[in-house]
Structure 1
Amino acid sequence: MKAILLPLFALGIAAVFSLAADPASAPPLKVLMVTGGCCHDYENQKMILAEGLSARVNVEFTVIHEEGPDGKKDKTHKVSIYEKADWAKGYDVVLHNECFGGITDVEFVNRIAKPHHDGVPAVMLHCSAHSYRAAATDEWRKCVGQTSMSHEKNRDLTVKNVAPEHPVMKGFPMEWVNKKDELYKNEKLWENFVPLAKAYGEDTKQDHFLIWVNTYGTGKVFGTTMGHGNETMSDPVFLDLVARGLLWSCGKLTDEGKPVAGYESKQK
């Protein structure tokens, strides 16, 4: 297991009380990023996301990056942190950027979903929506907000903003070309799924929602199926979107789509 803390903050008890009293000096949101698995450049994406989001939001990342045996990409690998029932304890939000679609262990998958059902916010990126799809349980799919089992070929996607007044979509273009990405097919939208943007499927001849928010139990979830390649991950439009989605899931985004005071990036 690779565990990386980015950046490192040493806060004493007195400092915590002082920061809590001053919104302009709020402590960073503790973000657990879980990444690894099949088919993507997670070695570079973890740094793109950690650095890009830290430049936009007051966050502290702990990164868990696991592949399969001998470091080989394996869609059936079980990330070790998920073996614990309280795996999300101590984190303000979990960013899922993983691709483990071959796992069939229902108990394991339900254990991943449960902290989010109990209130831990989540950010779901790209193949996280396809992870755990082989398991005979809907809990992860309900957590994501949609059931998706396949995607269309890699191509440029014209993304259309369908909820410009939603705080997460403030600042997102009414139309944006997402270059060289995969359009995930919406096979089922669960009851608390709120669509934010769509793109047209050339294979299916219908629109599919690729940006959304969801409520799972008491947990707030932001999701996008964009982000297959590093070009998308590195795009400022994408990183701005994910930053707003992360803040929204934690209740730290204003109605105007800006960070709540104290949650702007502390980087100069």
Structure 2
Amino acid sequence: MKAILLPLLALASAAVFVLAADPASAPPLKVLMITGGCCHDYENQKMILAEGLSARANVEFTIIHEEGPDGKKDKTHKISIYEKEDWAKGYDVVLHNECFGGVTDNEFINRIAKAHQDGVPGVMLHCSTHSYRAATTDEWRKCLGQTSMSHEKNRDLLVKNIAPEHPVMKGFPAEWLDKKDELYKNDKLWENFVPLAKAFGEDTQKDHYLIWVNTYGKGKVFGTTMGHGNETMSDPVFLDLVARGLLWSCGKLDDSGKPVAGYESKQK
């Protein structure tokens, strides 16, 4: 049965949708996708991700997409759901694909991170790593597993798989050309950061890790700084990777890199 898109709520600065799985299937993982902000085509990326991941795993998406006042992209905007203390309640995993690097409210940012510290799995894509970097708190950086404050120019990246035996990297090529993307610089790696792939930095003349997993408190986190453009987001290699990372963060990926029974895609 084909996935369907059901509008739940429309606000001046937010749009919330559920991409629902076949109701006759095993209960899907409930994924909250947070998206919006500066510098990226989030309008299309949210559907690329929701549709692509639904074709690879048994998931159901709730999507919250906010940009800023009057729908204009604003890196200082604070996503409204994060104002709630229990903002992640009811979800099995949160997928972050957001770009709000100008937010400086430490209490607000710590509240985002606390949901993951308390055990909600997280998937961190691209500019989520640069979100909240203007703030003084380190909790979001600890949640990510790394601190990054800048990236190199948009160019082709040769991605090297350095952990081929890790379930998340099973099926990922030994080397993969990520076309027209941005290499985020690793300024600091926190203690539970586990690197899975790297690419060479032309500016810094050293490698930077761009796929990883992390443990933050009780929460498992998968991250990649790839995904600036829709070409990368749409690539089957990228979508396969993110699907494995999402399932891994929820404990639903087996040692061979396949979904455990019941968490394969139910789409026909």
Question: What TM-score, normalized to structure 2?
Answer: 0.94
What is the match of residue 20 of structure 2?
7
**Alignment map for 1:46-195 (pairs within 5 Å):** 46-195=46-195
Measure, in 1, the Cα distance between the counterparts of 2:90 and 2:260: 21
* CA deviations over 1:55-108 (Å, ceiling 9, x no partner): 000000000000010000000000000000000000000000000000000000
Measure, in 2, the Cα distance between the counterparts of 1:3 and 1:106: 26
What is the match of residue 207 of structure 1?
207
What is the match of residue 235 of structure 1?
235
Measure, in 1, the Cα distance between the counterparts of 2:85 and 2:152: 35
One-letter code of the match for 2:38? Answer: C
Measure, in 2, the Cα distance between the counterparts of 1:264 and 1:7: 15
Measure, in 1, the Cα distance between the counterparts of 2:266 and 2:154: 36
One-letter code of the match for 1:199? Answer: A
1:9 Cα deviation from its structure 2 partner: 6.3
Give the CA RMSD over aligned residues. Answer: 0.9
What is the match of residue 16 of structure 1?
none
Measure, in 2, the Cα distance between the counterparts of 1:84 and 1:217: 20
Measure, in 2, the Cα distance between the counterparts of 1:8 and 1:156: 35
1:10 Cα deviation from its structure 2 partner: 5.9
Contact 2:21–2:266 (Cα < 8 Å) also in 1: no
Structure 1, unaligned stretches of length 5 or more?
12-24
One-letter code of the match for 2:89? Answer: K
* CA deviations over 1:100-154 (Å, ceiling 9, x no partner): 0000000000000001000000000000000000111000000000000000000
What is the match of residue 249 of structure 1?
249
Q: 2:43 aligned with 1:43, yes or no?
A: yes
* CA deviations over 1:175-233 (Å, ceiling 9, x no partner): 00000000000000000000000000000000000000000001000000000000000
1:26 Cα deviation from its structure 2 partner: 2.6
* CA deviations over 1:222-268 (Å, ceiling 9, x no partner): 00000000000000000000000000000000000000000000001
SS in structure 2 opposite 1:255?
coil
SS in structure 2 opposite 1:252?
coil
SS in structure 1 opposite 2:50?
helix
Contact 2:22–2:267 (Cα < 8 Å) also in 1: no
Measure, in 1, the Cα distance between the counterparts of 2:104 and 2:169: 35
Measure, in 2, the Cα distance between the counterparts of 1:72 and 1:154: 23
One-letter code of the match for 2:110? Answer: N
Contact 2:22–2:266 (Cα < 8 Å) also in 1: no
1:7 Cα deviation from its structure 2 partner: 1.7
Measure, in 2, the Cα distance between the counterparts of 1:9 and 1:240: 21
One-letter code of the match for 2:160? Answer: K
Pair 1:143–1:249, CA change in 2 (3 A): same
Tell me the matched-pair count: 255
SS in structure 1 opposite 2:243?
helix
Pair 1:8–1:177, CA change in 2 (3 A): closer
Measure, in 2, the Cα distance between the counterparts of 1:62 and 1:9: 15
Measure, in 1, the Cα distance between the counterparts of 2:30 and 2:104: 30
More helix by share: 1
- Runs of 4+ off more than 4 Å: 8-11
Pair 1:200–1:263, CA change in 2 (3 A): same
